[in-house]
Structure 1
Amino acid sequence: MSDITIHEGDEYTAIYHQGPFDGTTDTRTATGDAIEDEVTVFADVEGLQTAFTYKATHTRHVVDQVSVDYTYEPDKSDDLDDLQERGDRSGGFDRE
């Protein structure tokens, strides 16, 4: 994806595009000597932890900070109903 060098423990900024985290950023720590090609971020949706997958699409080095653009991958993420179609979910999930 890029020629940027990163090492385990280095921090970089993830910039999320599209999906539920559109326009938000996150400071991530490299777990190896490469930027993660794909990340999963979690949010509580109607009381349930929901996973959203984002794929790295662009990397840049600005001054002393690495930034990575991540784009939403709906096919790899948990399904979400449209807000208009959620309706009543009482009893719809086994939470015990």
Structure 2
Amino acid sequence: MSDITIHEGDEYTAIYHDGPFNGTTDTRTATTDTWDDEVTAFAIVDGLETAFTYKAENAKQVVDQVHVDYRWDAEHSDPVDALENRGDRTGEFDRP
């Protein structure tokens, strides 16, 4: 992807593109001598915890910080109905 290096314990900035986390950032800590190839972000959708998969596309050095661009991978994420197709689900997930 690039010749940028980081080491275990270094922080880097994840920048999310597309999907429900589009435009958001996250500070992550490297657990090996590189950034994560894939990140799973979680959100509550219609009362259910939903996993969204993002894959690393590009990394760049910005002053003393590494920024990694992550693109939403809808195919490997939990399915979510488009907002206009959700309808009224009031009480659908209530427990008896």
TM-score (norm 1): 0.91
Q: Secondary structure at the match of 2:21?
A: coil
Which residue matches 1:67?
67
Distance in 2 of aligned mates of 1:73 and 1:42: 13
Q: Report the CA distance between 1:84 and its aligned residue.
A: 1.6
- Taking only the aligned residue pairs, the percentage that are identical comes to 68
| Contiguous gaps of at least 5 residues in structure 2 | none
Letter of the 2:11 counterpart: E
Pairing of 1:29-68 with structure 2 (within 5 A) = 29-68=29-68
Q: Give the root-mean-square deviation of aligned CA atoms.
A: 1.6
Number of residues of Structure 1 aligned to a counterpart in Structure 2 = 95
Q: How much does 1:86 deviate?
A: 1.0
Report the equivalent of 1:16.
16
Cα separation, 2, equivalents of 1:95 and 1:4? 50
Provide TM-score, normalisation by structure 2: 0.91
Gaps of 5+ in 1: none
